[in-house]
Amino acid sequence: MTGSRIVGSGSALPQRIVTNNELAERVDTSDEWIIERTGIRQRHIAGAGETTATLATAAARAALADAGLKAGDIDLIVLATATPDNTFPATATKVQHALGCKNGPAFDVGAVCSGFLYALTTADSLLATGSANRALVIGAETFSRILDWEDRTTCVLFGDGAGAVVLEAPDAANPAKAGGPGVLASRLHADGAQHDLLYVDGGPSSTQTVGHLRMKGPEVFRHAVVNLSSVLKEVIEDADVSASDIDWIVPHQANKRILDATARKLGIPDEKVVVTVDKHANTSAASVPLAFDVARKDGRIKAGDLVMFEAMGGGFTWGASLVRM
């Protein structure tokens, strides 16, 4: 059975762009090294007054406008972030208030870079039960606030931003036709044994501090290619399609080399992979909805297309969803 449909998308980026050359003035790195090893050319970095909630609210407003809906039409908000404005309450509740939504629950999901996949699958499941009709699913991050700006092995990799989609419940009165729009299949995974490969070295209950991101990059890279190819195969099988049926892959934008290696393992040509890592760097939970919005708005992703979302992040957590537009 087809799940809920994506009826709108939006995104938001901080005003300030920071180039690789600007970072090279701060740490021992170079534009050439960053482009060659990651594909990143620039990233947006939040300024004073820009937070995860303000970026999420701007992306949500754009998604509502794109869907032709008002805040009052939304009765569920699921926001994926690892960089909330406050330890509590959930950033989703700040967004709810800023939008003027009053209906239904609003909560955060924490799965770091795969947060959007976790949020999308959670919202799709809640919509399927009939407990809500229209959800805002948001990925929003300000990773610049948890980076160690002296550590060249991590600070060059990340950026800030937000992306959002409006998800509408399958219509019980007019059930989806075969081949019609909607979520076709989703899979989520986690492996807590890999905690130490990618984590933040602080938190309210352990150190009473916010902490900084720490990562063993090459090891994360190896796990990413293996885990992502495996979950993509699972979803392709669940949806009973073949890899060649997929029109677009919208991957988590961690590193151009991971995107290329994963697509190659499935035999999917480069032209079908949406790449924004060059402009946005890794925006964690925001990266998939941001890239999706870019490719929808520039006309690449169209009604009827088969779109695969995939991501892996700290935890480890990883997942994929196949959606007919």
For the CA atoms of 100, 101, 107, 112, what is the dihedral angle to 10 degrees? -60
164 binds ligand ACO (CB under 6 A): no
Could you confirm whether 86 is annotated as catalytic? no
Task: Report the residue from 159, 182, 313, 319 that binds ligand ACO according to the rule CB under 6 A.
Answer: 313
Could you confirm whether 113 is annotated as catalytic? yes
Round to whole Å and give the CA distance between 57 and 53.
6
Could you confirm whether 212 is annotated as catalytic? no
Which pair of structure tokens corresponds to residue 174?
Answer: 């007019």
If you ran DSSP here, which 8-state letter would residue 158 be given?
B
Q: Are 21 and 41 in contact (CB under 8 A)?
A: no
> Facing residues of 77 across strands?
106, 136
Which pair of structure tokens corresponds to residue 67?
Answer: 């869907």
Round to whole Å and give the CA distance between 59 and 176.
28
9 binds ligand ACO (CB under 6 A): no
107 binds ligand ACO (CB under 6 A): no
Q: Are 318 and 312 in contact (CB under 8 A)?
A: yes
Closest approach, Cβ 257 to ligand ACO, in A, equals 7
Q: Of 28-67, which residues contact ligand ACO (CB under 6 A)?
A: 29, 33, 37-38
18 binds ligand ACO (CB under 6 A): no
Round to whole Å and give the CA distance between 212 and 223.
22
Smaller CB distance to ligand ACO: residue 224 or 263?
224
Closest approach, Cβ 309 to ligand ACO, in A, equals 15
Smaller CB distance to ligand ACO: residue 101 or 198?
198
How many CB atoms are located within 10 Å of the residue 221 CB?
Answer: 16
Site string for ligand ACO, 211-240 (x = CB under 6 A): ------xx-xx--x----------------
Round to whole Å and give the CA distance between 161 and 46.
8
Site string for ligand ACO, 119-158 (x = CB under 6 A): ---------------------------------xx--x--
Which residues are marked as active site?
113, 252, 282
Give me the residues that bind ligand ACO (CB under 6 A), please. 29, 33, 37-38, 112-113, 152-153, 156, 198, 217-218, 220-221, 224, 254-255, 258, 282, 284, 313-314
